[in-house]
Chain A
Amino acid sequence: MDNNQLSPPYWKWVPAAFALAGIIVFVFATFGPPASSSGFVAVLKGAIATVAPDYVEAKAHYRMSAGPGGWVFAFVLGMAIGGFIAARTFPAPVRDIPEIWENRFGSSRVKRYAAAFAGGFVILFASRLAGGCTLGLFISGSTQLAVSGLYFGVLIFVFAMLTARFVYGRAGKEGQ
C-alpha cells in the first residue's frame, strides 16, 4: 500500500505494450485491422444522414465507409467509455489544459481549445487522405508489414517532433 504513494500512477510502458498488443491481436482475430479515424466518418455519416440523406448518398467518402451501428462505431464509443472508466479509477486529476501548454501560453482556455480544435481538424483531414491514422494506418499497417503504415509512421513522428519544438520552444525544457 505504501508503494502506491511512491510509485508513479501511470503503468510502465513494457507491460502496457503487452496488454495493448493482446487487444490488437484479439481485434485482428475477431474483426480485422483496428481503426479509429473511420469512427469519425461513421458518426458523421449517421448524423448527416438524418438531415441530408441525399448528400451522404452522393459523396464517395460516405458511400465507401461504414455507418453508425457497425464495429468501428462501437469501437470508438468503447474507447470513450474505457477512458471514462480508467479516469474515474485513477488518482491523478484530469486537466483541461496540459501543464506544458500552460507554462508556454498561459491559462487561457480559449487559446488551448482553439489549438486543440485546429489540431483535431488537421489530423482527421490527413487521416482520411492517407486512409488511416496512428492506429488505423501506423499501428495496424505496420503490424501487417504494410509499407504505407511504416512510411506514414516515420513522417508523423518526425513532423510531430519538429512541430512540438516550434510550438513549445525552450519553455518545454524549462517547464520540467
Chain B
Amino acid sequence: MSSPIWLGLVSGIAFGFVIQRVGATNPDKMARAHLMIEGAIPRFMLLAVLLSAIGLLGLLASGTGRTLIIPTSLVATGVAGVLFGIGWGLCGYCPGTTWAAAGEGRMDAVFALLGGFAGTALFAQVHEILIPLLHAPTNLGQITLADWFGSDLAATVVLVAVFAASILGIGMLWERD
C-alpha cells in the first residue's frame, strides 16, 4: 500500500516510546516475565491485543482499515513458533523490541539486531527450499476465528473472553507484579 512514509515513522516513534516506557525493551524484565516472576509485560501484551481487536472491529464496521491474514501452516507456523520461543527465551528480545532497545543504547540489542539480519539473510537464501517443504503441504489457508464462530462479532467476544481469562490467570499464577 502506498501509505505515506511519515505515518510509518510517526507510528514507529510512538510504538518504540511506549514499549520502552512499559519495560518491554528491557531483557531483564522479559526474562522475569518468562520465569513467572513478573506478570506486567505479558499482561500488557495480551490487554493490548484485546483492546486492539475491539478497536479493529469498530474500524471495520465503519468501513476503514485494511487487514491481511497470514495463512496458518501447521508445520511451518508450528516449527517457527517453537524456534522463535527458544530465541526469545534465550535473549529476551523480539524483532520489534530489538529496534527500540538498540535505540535506547543497549549494546546487547545491537548484537541481537545484527543476528537478526544474519537470520533474515539465511532465510531469504533458503526460502525456495523451505516454503515448499515446510509451509505449503500443511497450509490451511487464511483461517480466522470468524470462520469457526460464525461472525467477526462472535469471534471477537470469544477472543476477548479468552484473553481476559489469560490476563487474570497470569495475575494469579505469576509470583508478584
Cα–Cα distance between A163 and B5 once the two chains are bound (Å): 38
Among B37, B68, B103, the most chain A Cβ lie within 10 Å of the Cβ of B103
Given contacts A83-B101, A129-B80, are A163 and B85 in contact (CB under 8 A)? yes
Least CB separation from B121: chain A residue: A44
Across-interface contacts of B135 in A (CB, < 8 A):
129
Contact among B87, B101, B140 with A123 in the assembled complex (CB-CB below 8 Å) = B87
Contact B96 A79 (CB under 8 A): yes
Cα–Cα distance between A121 and B111 once the two chains are bound (Å): 10
Among B19, B41, B85, B117, the most chain A Cβ lie within 10 Å of the Cβ of B85
Given contacts A44-B117, A125-B83, are A14 and B104 in contact (CB under 8 A)? no
Chain B 52-102 residues near chain A, CB threshold 8 A: 52-53, 55-56, 59, 64-73, 76-102
Q: How far is the CB of A148 from chain B (nearest CB, A)?
A: 4
> Is there a chain B Cβ closer than 8 Å to A100's Cβ?
yes
Across-interface contacts of B36 in A (CB, < 8 A):
161
Contact A113 B103 (CB under 8 A): no
Q: How far is the CB of A122 from chain B (nearest CB, A)?
A: 3
Given contacts A32-B66, A116-B112, A126-B80, are A84 and B31 in contact (CB under 8 A)? no
Least CB separation from B11: chain A residue: A27
Chain A 12-55 residues near chain B, CB threshold 8 A: 12-14, 16-34, 36-37, 39-41, 43-44, 48
Least CB separation from A169: chain B residue: B35
Cα–Cα distance between A44 and B12 once the two chains are bound (Å): 19
When A and B form their complex, which 9 residue pairs have the shortest distance between CB atoms, in order from nearest?
A: A78-B12, A82-B16, A159-B85, A119-B91, A163-B89, A155-B81, A120-B115, A83-B100, A122-B87
**Which residues on B are within 8 Å of A, measured CB to CB?**
1, 3, 5-23, 25-29, 31-32, 34-37, 40-45, 47-53, 55-56, 59, 64-73, 76-109, 111-125, 127-128, 130-131, 134-135, 140, 142-146, 152, 155-156, 159, 163
Q: What are 19 contact pairs spanning A and B, CB under 8 A?
A: A10-B29, A13-B43, A30-B11, A32-B66, A34-B11, A44-B124, A75-B8, A75-B9, A79-B13, A79-B19, A82-B18, A86-B104, A120-B113, A123-B91, A129-B83, A130-B81, A134-B45, A159-B82, A160-B85
